[in-house]
Structure 1
Amino acid sequence: MTTAVAAPFRFFSLRVVRTRRLGPSLVRVTFAGADLAHFHSHGHDQSLSLFLPAQGRTEPVVPIELGDGWWQGWRELPDDVRAVMRSYTLRALRRNPDEIDIDFALHGIGPGAATPPGPASRWAARARAGDPVVLLGPAVADNRAIRFRPPEDTDLVLVWGDETAVPAATAILEALPAGTRARAWLEVPHAGDVQDVAAGPDVEITWLTGGRGALAEIRAARLPRCERPYVWIAGESGRVRELRRHFVQERGTDRRRVTFVGYWRRGLTEEQLRAAGE
């Protein structure tokens, strides 16, 4: 049974259809299920909450039957029962058949990993067709979990994202209207993680690999002449703050035209961030 939560969001019971390794540090997982007929989004950085089975379990346990009370019920479940919740962005939505793609950054699994993998990275690296998940996502196409909203008068789009934001960033770049000028800087751990992006001829993408710092690259960049830029930056919280400061204070961008999203924070798990209220 699927229970509505609070419009415009609801739960979706899904299963893995297939997986595809995009590089040493990235894997794409495709999900399907009858519930996807009710999944609607027109945002290209659509945020989702994904629930995965707790370690040692085969099904994600989420008390969706509680409706709006699911959150408290989920928190009260024992640690070895409660489904693991992680935040992701939608990479693609297709119809006929209904499918969605979510790209996972495999922290702690790629070559040279310095830290052990978390539960979502372990799950994604081993995901197989038929594996069940629960998704909390949009039932309404225009919803508050979409952050990329350039003003109509934008004459240059500027994008930065690390490996956790690459799915949203590439989806954004591919969906820009023809003739939209854009510059993007995308950071991935390894050269093998660089992807082909089906963006228009006015979109310039710089891939940064092997720990090359974005701030120095962006500071040195000569941007096209523009009067009304729009900036979208997402990824590790500390880097996001640093880059926002650069665009607002050093380049003089109107802060109202800068969207910044911290997808994660170095040294903290998502549970710790949630407990801290971030």
Structure 2
Amino acid sequence: MTGQAQEYDFFPAQVVRTRRLGPTMLRVTFGGEALHGFASGGRDQSFSLFLPHPGQEAPLLPHQEGEGWFRAWRAVPEQERAVMRSYTVRAQRSSPPEVEVDFALHGTDPADHAPAGPAARWAADAEPGARVVLLGPAVADNRSVGFRPPADADFVLLAADETALPAVGGILDWLPAGTRALVWIEVPDAADVQELTGAGEVDVTWLIREPGSPSGLLTALREAELPAGAPYAWLAGESGTVKELRRHLVRERGVDKRAVSFTGYWRRGASEDRLRAEAYGEPA
């Protein structure tokens, strides 16, 4: 399958193995010879993952090259076209070629209050050999890497919920030795806490969100004592929460807004299909 542009390409792959990381998170390892060309830039490298519907052997994608692939995909009936979701590369290996992705399994437990989305349902049932397609980077220096601290930053500040936990892990793996990083991560269950390591000098604070309660990230950040100097902040998670975090840093802490990278990984009350359609200027 040919690529969207030189910067990105489509990579057929299949599930190699899965591993449960906690009540909320599942790690899926994808493999396949095509992944030799998948050039992750590390850090918070994002890509699009195409999944089949139940009963399909492989995700259905139109044979469309270049920038028109999204409109061609949208033209396929919704119940037939591949399910498309955005994910972050948690890790990559070259021999054999593998890409690891962590899925948040919201809604897959019968005790959950909200139903699972199609990607969470797929991941919960994924078995070795299941076929997928990745639309990702063909060059390591690509637009889908958002974590880009300036050389003069005195320290790094990260704040995220569980949907951005894989990106936080990738960032900490990438940080150069000696880099100071203050990290706040909110998860829905204490058993979702992971051991995060790296070459940097990292201080991680885990927050456990009570069921039905609002995010505690803003309160935790407001109460935190930050070191002197100029930070580079990276914020990711629910869109509304991320905007509040950025507003706090810029307006209340006086952080240069150019030194704050913020991304809404999801928005309360909106599906990713709707967010994609809005981004491409199409009706939901």
Q: TM-score, normalised by structure 2?
A: 0.93
Q: Which residue in 2 is equivalent to 1:225?
A: 228
Aligned equivalent of 1:124: 123
Residue 75 (structure 2) aligns with: 76
Q: CA deviation at 1:277?
A: 3.0
Tell me how far 1:111 sits from its aligned partner: 6.9
1:100 aligns with 2:103: no
Return the offset for 1:54.
1.9
TM-score normalised over the length of structure 1: 0.95
Distance 2:155 2:110 in 1: 36
* d(CA) in 2 for partners of 1:33, 1:174: 24
Give the Cα–Cα distance (whole angstroms) in 2 for the partners of residues 113 and 120 of structure 1.
16
Aligned to 1:55: 54
- Confirm or deny that 1:182 pairs with 2:193: no
What CA distance in whole angstroms lies between the structure 2 residues aligned with 1:215 and 1:72? 38
Counterpart in the other structure of 2:238: 236
Q: Helix, strand or coil: the match of 1:150?
A: coil
Write the mapping of 1:136-147 to structure 2, written as runs, cut at 5 A: 136-147=135-146
> Could you give the per-residue CA deviations for residues 34-78 of structure 1, whole angstroms, max 9, x where no partner exists?
111111122310110000002332210011x32123222211111
**Equivalent residue of 1:247, what SS?**
helix
2:3 is aligned with what amino acid? A
Task: Specify whether residues 111 and 203 from structure 1 end up closer, same or farther in structure 2 by C-alpha distance, changes over 3 A only.
Answer: farther
> Aligned partners of 2:104, 2:58: CA distance in 1, in Å?
22
Deviation at 1:200, TM superposition (A): 4.0
The Cα shift of 1:262 comes to: 0.6
Count matched residues: 275
Kindly indicate whether the alpha-carbon contact (under 8 Å) linking 1:183 and 1:204 is maintained by their aligned counterparts in 2. Answer: yes
SS in 2 for 1:136: strand
Q: Distance in 2 between matches of 1:221 and 1:110?
A: 34
- Retained in 2: the 8 A contact 1:90–1:168? yes
Distance 2:90 2:237 in 1: 15
Q: Name the amino acid aligned to 2:7.
A: P
**Aligned partners of 1:40 and 1:273: how far apart in 2?**
26
* Deviation, structure 1 residue 97: 0.9
Decide which moves more: 235-244 or 173-182: 173-182
Q: 2:175·2:200 contact (CA, 8 Å) conserved in 1?
A: no
Q: Matched residue of 2:222: which SS?
A: helix
Instruction: Could you list the structure 1 runs, at least 4 aligned residues long, displaced by more than 3 angstroms after superposition.
Output: none
User: Which position in structure 2 is the counterpart of 1:203?
Assistant: 202
Instruction: Spell out, residue by residue over 1:118-158, the C-alpha distance to the aligned partner (whole angstroms, 9 max, x if none).
Output: 00000011111000001100000000111000001111100
Partner of residue 18, structure 1: 17
Aligned to 2:219: 216
Gaps of 5+ in 2: none
Instruction: Rate the CA distance shift 1:277–1:42 in 2: closer, same or farther, 3 A.
Output: closer
Structure 1 gap segments, 5+ residues each: none
Amino acid paired to 1:164:
T
Distance 2:2 2:8 in 1: 10
Say if 1:157 and 1:182, in contact at 8 Å, map to a contact too. Answer: yes
- Give me the whole-angstrom Cα distance separating, in 1, the residues matched to 2:279 and 2:171: 28
The counterpart of 1:67, out of the listed 48, 61, 65, is: 65
Q: Aligned partners of 1:174 and 1:251: how far apart in 2? A: 28
Identity across the alignment (%)? 56
User: Which residue matches 2:45?
Assistant: 46
Distance 1:245 1:112, change over 3 A: farther
Does the CA contact (< 8 Å) of 2:42 and 2:170 recur in 1? no
Give the drift of 1:171.
Answer: 1.2
* SS at structure 2 position matched to 1:102: strand
